[in-house]
């Protein structure tokens, strides 16, 4: 199960944070800081997995943005690594060539996309097409 | 074309309903030069929002934006709780968009236990019944986050109803909501789920089915047996998935619905565990998955790894295991760290079934162990921990300790220290090695080990191997003393280790005659001096000095205390700690006695001897009799007294019983005063290792002959202690009670010495448990040879030499069990280092690129749907010649341009204001343009690695590739060049080819 998802830039600024477990605000901030510190200086050659307390963080860097997912210790790392990629593909599709700016100014939309992709800490929809269609439908309502 | 695209994007950003103010804020925060400035901006925003949201008649559209801004403020780490209620209100809105925004905000703001949830429940209930399926979806999303155990019943009926909704998106979310309910409180939804699990499982829509798998996985992990009959249907589904029967949109990088496959594989692993019949049915489909997964991409490897997990979990099948092993080898041999990591994990699973499999991969494993990547190293240590045997324990524990030294994280350090101790206790090949290992563990993680481990270590040194071999024991002790004297040179040692050191030096420091008493005492004083704040260590030190002195006195030598020792004793005599004071006085008292008394009080090597205590304390009979004849009350055992007290305390409120409660204590006091016989139990206070044991033995006299001997001795002991009162806290007790002390201690020690002389060889009270392992060693020797060769000397050309040398070490170990650890290590080390030396030859030079990423890049170029979009980037612009100051590599430079162009494209309003101004260098670290630059930076580093350093400008280009900071200067130049009016464009590569690599 996914515990939380973070999008952070290299300075550690949170671009998106979604928690699937109840946490205190102070705890969230601490955790965002720690995760950033863990991933930011890792050699790109190294594994994309880091032990984090009793869980592990699967992260992937896209340009200056780190996408980190905290999952259970027994979870299949590569699957989550690929689901991060799938999420980025969806974002890319939605924003037509996504860049950090898109995410900064449209963070609320990113949250909506994430809600279509992951629900209650599990991947709920793995079809890019289905998610894009759902988002398009929502856009039409505006 | 490119320009148009950019304009389109900028327009899109600007036109999405967000007001200019908000965009300005986002921009301003992005450009904030310092954390303080950012704080200030956010605080201003919060103040503004506080005022605005309570204004009457805020237009709803405007309110929606305020809510989004609240979310933004919270995301930046500030408290926006003042606006939660507005978000809750927004969920009541009829407009779908506003409602969605409201739900989004509350799911981000509130936890399931928040007070405001109660205000949303009603809305959720209504929305779940809505005709508009999008409203249902929004409500279900909120349900997944906001409903807790107590509120489940309020929405459960509606959610169950939605399981039959005509839109698959609604069904899917309803299933996920049920899954969440099940996680929260399995009992409330148990019957619903068991009824529906079959029905929804056969939903035509793959994503609904996939959602069901989440629920089923949880159900099956809780109770596999009730679901075994479903095995075949899962096998069938998996087969269909593998054969591409699902709609194409579920494919991911050409793999057919891999995320669904993996969920199914996990379920099969649960169902097949320990069930031969079920496993039999799976073998075919597992083989298919393994065959069809493409090993070139991450997702293919994820499938393969999951297959290996399943194959190793279910009833084993040799053919599948073979292919699983082959895939594991491939992982381990891969250049990608990710795959190596998966390989190590898979190896751990396979060796549970077939331990021999590890042999082939020793080099790869050692390789991973040496890797600078911490994650990989830890995973490998975990694997080694699993495969430790007595034959390879030395190398493995050595590795673990080496790694432990480098750690700063106390959580993991504790973990690894306890693992080291566990392995050492289970598999130690010799006592020397054990002591040496423990010393290292203490030295580097002393504060994190439980004190029991130190006591076990002291006991081991005192009791030796537990065999009838005095020479061996004394040799062991000498080596321990030597090693401790060496360790003492280190400046900072943990308290626990110092205690062990003091004790060992006190007991055995002068035993073999190599070190003079004066030298040992000096070292002990140094220890105490170096740790002025640690009373426990001081106590150990002074006791050790006492022992060293008493051995000298007993041997008839004169002891001259060196000045610093005298100073130390004086200091302790005036200490605030009564314990330390007592010890100091005892030492001083010792000098007053002659050698025979001292020898009896503190016999050499007395720590491991049992003290025979005559529990009836016959020497007191006379005294007791005389007191009884004088009218003293007979002794009542504590338990009887206590029984009376508790009985009384039950009725403490009743006057009568409280009266009877007072009765006992008021009568008694005269007796303790009369019976007060100060007894300092020098012996028991002093011998630290068996202190508790001895103390109880000393204090276990049976005072009253009338008491049945089967009565719990502990209770009697309490009585005796009270009888003897508190003399040990009296400063003068040591000297004033010398006579009494002599008589009591003399009595018990007389017995002691008898026992010691008679039973010296047989001191085996409690054999440490690894002794049995040690005895087994000769049997294991063949295995040991094999493993030493296989694990750490396994290259074939080295094999026989390593066998020889490990054989040598084996021989040495058997001929002379007490070979120093150093020697042992020497015999092992060459093999080890040889194995390592052969590593560089065996492994190819590391690739610059992450293997996984490379693969994806290949995949992307061949089949990524994004490629079509990337094609759009191809532009006609050419690199202008007037670009002397752009010292970045070819590719990234152009990426840079494209971003800048996008800024220029709008030319006004928001984006022009975001445009990177010429003050980049100052605000670089902390702002959005900085972020932008880091995007570029990232591109530079990544594509620099891909394309290699194609240097365009001559200035500092190479350094720009290597280091981050110099990139800033290059960008500065670049910005300046743009200011001058040079707007270089180039053939635009696909920007997100890098992003999506």
A86 backbone dihedrals φ, ψ, rounded to 5°: -60, -40
Does the pLDDT value for residue A66 go beyond 90?
yes
Alpha-carbon distance B925 to nearest alpha carbon in chain A (angstroms): 7
Does the pLDDT value for residue B774 go beyond 70?
no
Which carries the bigger pLDDT value, residue B55 or residue B17?
Answer: B55
DSSP class per residue in A81-122: HHHHHHHHHHHHHHHTS--HHHHHHTHHHHHHHHHHHEETTE
Which carries the bigger pLDDT value, residue B964 or residue B369?
Answer: B369
In angstroms, the CA B375 to CA B908 distance is 48
In angstroms, the CA B890 to CA B947 distance is 9
Burial class (CB in 10 A: 0-12, 13-18, 19+), A140: exposed
Residue B899 at interface with chain A, using a CB cutoff of 8 Å: yes
CA distance to A53, B495, B603, B950, per residue, from B412 (Å): 9, 20, 43, 43
Q: Which residue has the tokens 């921990």?
A: B385
Nearest to B324 by CA among B289, B298, B297, B296: B289
Q: Tell me the pLDDT tens digit for each residue of B913-953.
A: 334 334 434 443 444 444 443 443 444 344 434 444 443 44
> Which pLDDT score, from 0 to 100, does residue B663 have?
55
Alpha-carbon distance B904 to nearest alpha carbon in chain A (angstroms): 15
> Which pLDDT score, from 0 to 100, does residue B202 have?
74
Q: Six-digit token pair at B851?
A: 């293997």
Residues of B in contact with A50 (CB under 8 A): 374-375
> How do A65-71 and A55-62 pair as beta strands?
antiparallel
Q: Tell me the pLDDT tens digit for each residue of B502-559.
A: 888 888 888 777 788 888 888 888 888 888 778 888 888 888 888 888 888 887 777 7
User: Residue B813 contacts by C-beta under 8 Å, 6 or more apart in sequence?
Assistant: B429, B430, B777, B819, B824
In angstroms, the CA B930 to CA A14 distance is 14
Strand partners, B24: none
pLDDT band at B650 (very low <50, low <70, confident <90, very high): low
Which carries the bigger pLDDT value, residue B592 or residue B241?
Answer: B241
> Which pLDDT score, from 0 to 100, does residue B676 have?
45
CA distance to B526, B567, B573, per residue, from B564 (Å): 9, 5, 14
Nearest to B930 by CA among B300, B33, B2: B33
Give the best-scoring range by mean pLDDT among A11-20, B390-399, B889-898: A11-20
> Which pLDDT score, from 0 to 100, does residue A91 have?
95
Does the pLDDT value for residue B444 go beyond 90?
no
Across B322-349, b (16+ Cβ under 10 Å) vs e yields: ebbbebbbebbbbbbbbbbbbbbbbbbb
Residues of A in contact with B937 (CB under 8 A): 10, 64
Q: What is the mean pLDDT of residues B600-626?
A: 75
Burial class (CB in 10 A: 0-12, 13-18, 19+), B454: buried
Q: What is the mean pLDDT of residues B634-663?
A: 59
Largest Cα–Cα distance of chain A, in whole Å?
45
pLDDT band at A121 (very low <50, low <70, confident <90, very high): very high
pLDDT band at B442 (very low <50, low <70, confident <90, very high): confident
Nearest to B824 by CA among B272, B444, B502, B434: B434
> Which pLDDT score, from 0 to 100, does residue B595 have?
76
Indicate the pTM of the whole model.
Answer: 0.63
> Which pLDDT score, from 0 to 100, does residue A4 have?
96
Looking at the partner chain, which of B183, B249, B991 has a beta carbon nearest the beta carbon of A97? B991
Q: Which residue has the tokens 């220290």?
A: B417
In angstroms, the CA B605 to CA B599 distance is 11
Nearest CA in chain B to A16: B75
Q: Tell me the pLDDT tens digit for each residue of B15-30.
A: 455 678 888 888 888 8
pLDDT band at B975 (very low <50, low <70, confident <90, very high): low
pLDDT band at B746 (very low <50, low <70, confident <90, very high): very low
Q: What is the mean pLDDT of residues B185-197?
A: 80
> Which pLDDT score, from 0 to 100, does residue B643 have?
64
Residues of A in contact with B72 (CB under 8 A): 107
CB B528 within 8 A of CB B568: yes
Does the pLDDT value for residue B68 go beyond 70?
yes
Looking at the partner chain, which of B141, B341, B846 has a beta carbon nearest the beta carbon of A45? B846
pLDDT band at B727 (very low <50, low <70, confident <90, very high): very low
- Length of chain B, in residues: 997
Alpha-carbon distance A7 to nearest alpha carbon in chain B (angstroms): 11
Does the pLDDT value for residue A101 go beyond 60?
yes
Alpha-carbon distance B116 to nearest alpha carbon in chain A (angstroms): 15
Looking at the partner chain, which of B23, B113, B259 has a beta carbon nearest the beta carbon of A105? B23
Q: Tell me the pLDDT tens digit for each residue of B388-411.
A: 888 888 888 888 888 888 887 777
Report the 3 state secondary structure along B247-306. CHHHCECCECCHHHHHHHHHHHHHHHCCCHHHHHHHHHHHHHHHHHCCCCCHHHHHHHHH
Look over chain A and give the mean of its residue pLDDT values, rounded to a whole number. Answer: 92
Q: Six-digit token pair at B134?
A: 């999008």
Residues of B in contact with A92 (CB under 8 A): 866, 869, 992, 995-996
pLDDT band at B193 (very low <50, low <70, confident <90, very high): confident
pLDDT band at B853 (very low <50, low <70, confident <90, very high): very low
CB B973 within 8 A of CB B886: yes
Does the pLDDT value for residue A132 go beyond 60?
yes
Which 3 state secondary structure label does DSSP give A8?
strand
Which 3 state secondary structure label does DSSP give B531?
coil
Alpha-carbon distance B887 to nearest alpha carbon in chain A (angstroms): 19
Looking at the partner chain, which of B77, B108, B850 has a beta carbon nearest the beta carbon of A45? B850
Q: What is the mean pLDDT of residues B45-60?
A: 89
Q: Six-digit token pair at B734?
A: 């040591």
Does the pLDDT value for residue B604 go beyond 80?
no
> Which pLDDT score, from 0 to 100, does residue A87 have?
95
Q: Of all residues in chain B, what percent carry a pLDDT higher than 90? A: 21
CB A75 within 8 A of CB A50: no
CB B43 within 8 A of CB B73: no
Which 3 state secondary structure label does DSSP give A7?
strand
Between chains, do B309 and A128 touch, taking CB under 8 Å as contact? Answer: no
Ranges B11-15, B238-242, B951-955: which has the least confidence: B951-955
- Please calculate the CA angle A117-A123-A127 and round it to the nearest 5 degrees: 60
> Which pLDDT score, from 0 to 100, does residue B525 have?
87
In angstroms, the CA A44 to CA B846 distance is 13
> Which pLDDT score, from 0 to 100, does residue B871 have?
43
In angstroms, the CA B85 to CA B101 distance is 13
Look over chain B and give the mean of its residue pLDDT values, rounded to a whole number. Answer: 70
Q: What is the mean pLDDT of residues B579-608?
A: 79
């Amino acid at each position: 199960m996914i515990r939380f998802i973070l999008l952070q830039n290299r300075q550690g600024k949170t671009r998106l944070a979604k928690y699937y477990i109840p946490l205190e605000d102070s705890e969230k901030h601490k955790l965002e800081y720690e995760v950033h510190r863990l991933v930011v200086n890792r050699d790109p050659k190294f594994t994309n997995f880091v032990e984090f307390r009793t869980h592990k963080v699967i992260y992937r860097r896209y340009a200056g943005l780190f996408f980190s997912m905290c999952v259970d210790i027994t979870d299949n790392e590569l699957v989550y690594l690929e689901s991060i990629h799938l999420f980025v593909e969806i974002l890319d599709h939605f924003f037509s060539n996504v860049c950090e700016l898109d995410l900064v100014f449209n963070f609320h939309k990113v949250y909506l996309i994430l809600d279509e992709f992951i629900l209650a800490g599990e991947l709920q929809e793995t079809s890019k097409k289905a998610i894009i269609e759902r988002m398009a439908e929502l856009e039409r309502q505006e | 074309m490119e320009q148009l695209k950019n304009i389109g994007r900028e327009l899109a950003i600007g036109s999405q309903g967000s007001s200019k103010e908000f965009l300005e804020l986002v921009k301003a925060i992005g450009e904030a030069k310092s954390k303080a400035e950012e704080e200030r901006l956010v605080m201003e925003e919060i103040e503004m929002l506080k005022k605005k949201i309570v204004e009457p008649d805020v237009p709803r559209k405007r309110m929606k934006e305020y809510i989004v801004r609240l979310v933004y403020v919270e995301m930046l780490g500030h408290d926006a709780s003042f606006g939660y209620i507005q978000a809750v209100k927004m969920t009541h809105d009829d407009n779908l968009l506003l409602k969605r925004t409201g739900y989004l905000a509350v799911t981000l703001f509130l936890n399931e236990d928040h007070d405001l949830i109660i205000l949303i429940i009603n809305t959720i209930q209504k929305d779940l019944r809505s005709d508009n399926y999008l409203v249902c979806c929004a409500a279900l999303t909120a349900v997944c986050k906001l409903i807790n155990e107590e509120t489940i019943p309020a929405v459960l009926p509606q959610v169950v109803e939605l399981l039959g909704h005509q839109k698959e998106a609604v069904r899917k979310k309803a299933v996920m909501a049920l899954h969440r309910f099940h996680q929260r409180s399995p009992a409330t939804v148990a019957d619903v789920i068991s009824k529906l699990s079959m029905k929804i499982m056969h939903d035509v829509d793959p994503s609904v089915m996939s959602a069901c798998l989440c629920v089923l996985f949880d159900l099956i992990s809780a109770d596999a047996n009730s679901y075994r009959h479903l095995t075949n249907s899962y096998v069938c589904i998996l087969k269909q998935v593998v054969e591409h029967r699902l709609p194409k949109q579920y494919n991911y990088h050409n793999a057919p619905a891999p995320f669904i496959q993996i969920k199914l594989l996990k379920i099969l692993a649960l169902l097949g565990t320990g069930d031969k019949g079920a496993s039999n049915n799976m073998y075919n489909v597992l083989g298919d998955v393994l065959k069809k997964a493409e090993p070139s991409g991450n997702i293919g490897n994820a499938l393969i790894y999951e297959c290996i997990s399943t194959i190793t979990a279910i009833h084993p099948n040799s053919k599948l295991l073979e292919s699983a092993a082959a895939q594991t080898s491939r992982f381990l041999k891969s250049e990608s760290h990710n795959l190596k990591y998966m390989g190590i994990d898979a190896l751990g699973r396979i060796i549970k079934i077939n331990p021999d499999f590890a042999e082939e991969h020793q080099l790869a494993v050692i390789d991973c162990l040496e890797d600078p990547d911490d994650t990989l190293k830890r995973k490998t240590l975990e694997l080694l921990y699993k495969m430790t045997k007595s034959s390879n324990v030395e190398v493995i524990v050595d590795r673990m300790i080496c790694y432990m030294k480098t750690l700063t994280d106390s959580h993991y350090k504790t973990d690894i220290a306890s693992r080291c101790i566990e392995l050492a206790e289970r598999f130690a090949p010799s006592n020397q090695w054990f002591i040496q290992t423990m010393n290292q563990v203490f030295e580097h993680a002393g504060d994190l080990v439980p004190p029991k481990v130190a006591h076990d270590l002291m006991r081991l040194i005192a009791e030796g191997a537990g065999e009838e071999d005095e020479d061996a024991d004394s040799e062991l002790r000498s080596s321990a003393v030597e090693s401790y004297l060496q360790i003492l040179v280190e400046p900072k040692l943990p308290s626990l280790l110092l205690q062990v050191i003091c004790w060992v030096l006190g007991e055995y420091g002068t035993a073999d005659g190599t070190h003079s008493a004066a030298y040992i005492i000096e070292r002990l004083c140094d220890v105490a001096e170096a740790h002025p704040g640690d009373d426990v260590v001081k106590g150990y030190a002074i006791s050790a000095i006492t022992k060293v002195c008493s051995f000298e006195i007993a041997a008839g030598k004169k002891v001259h205390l060196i000045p610093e020792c005298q100073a130390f004793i004086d200091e302790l005599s005036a200490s605030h700690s009564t314990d330390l004071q007592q010890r100091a006085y005892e030492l001083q008292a010792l000098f007053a006695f002659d050698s025979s008394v001292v020898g009896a009080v503190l016999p050499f090597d007395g720590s491991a001897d049992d003290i025979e205590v005559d529990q009836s304390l016959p020497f007191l009979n006379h005294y007791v009799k005389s007191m009884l004849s004088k009218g003293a009350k007979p002794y009542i055992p504590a338990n009887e007294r206590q029984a009376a007290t508790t009985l009384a305390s039950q009725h403490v409120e009743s006057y009568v019983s409280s009266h009877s409660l007072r009765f006992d204590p008021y009568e008694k006091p005269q007796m303790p005063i009369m019976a007060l016989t100060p007894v300092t139990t020098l012996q028991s206070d002093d011998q630290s290792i068996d202190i508790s044991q001895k103390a109880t033995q000393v204090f276990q006299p049976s005072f009253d002959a009338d008491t049945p001997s089967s009565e719990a001795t502990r209770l009697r002991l309490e009585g005796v202690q009270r009888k003897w009162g508190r003399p040990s806290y009296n400063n003068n007790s040591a000297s004033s009670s010398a006579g009494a002390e002599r008589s009591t201690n003399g009595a018990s020690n007389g017995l002691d010495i008898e026992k010691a002389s008679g039973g010296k060889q047989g001191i085996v009270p409690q054999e440490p448990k690894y002794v049995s392992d040690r005895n087994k060693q000769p049997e294991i020797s063949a295995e040991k040879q094999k493993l030493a060769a296989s694990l750490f000397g396994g290259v074939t050309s080295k094999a026989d030499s390593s066998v020889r040398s490990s054989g040598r070490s084996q021989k040495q170990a058997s001929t002379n069990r007490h070979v120093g650890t150093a020697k042992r290590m020497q015999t092992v080390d060459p093999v080890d280092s040889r194995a390592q030396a052969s590593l560089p030859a065996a492994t190819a030079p590391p690739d610059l690129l992450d293997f996984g990423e490379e693969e994806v890049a290949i995949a992307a170029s061949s089949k990524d749907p994004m490629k079509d979009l990337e094609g759009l980037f191809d532009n006609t612009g050419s690199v202008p010649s007037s670009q002397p100051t752009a010292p970045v590599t070819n590719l990234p430079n152009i990426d840079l341009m494209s971003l800048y162009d996008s800024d220029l494209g709008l030319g006004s309003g928001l984006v022009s204001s975001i445009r990177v101004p010429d003050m980049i260098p100052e605000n670089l670290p902390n702002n959005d343009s900085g972020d932008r630059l880091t995007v570029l930076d990232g591109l530079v580093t990544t594509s620099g690695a891909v394309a290699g350093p194609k240097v365009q400008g001559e200035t500092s280009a190479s350094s720009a590739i290597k280091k981050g900071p110099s990139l800033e200067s290059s960008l500065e130049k670049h910005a300046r060049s743009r200011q001058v009016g040079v707007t270089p464009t180039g053939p635009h590569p696909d920007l997100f080819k890098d992003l999506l690599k």
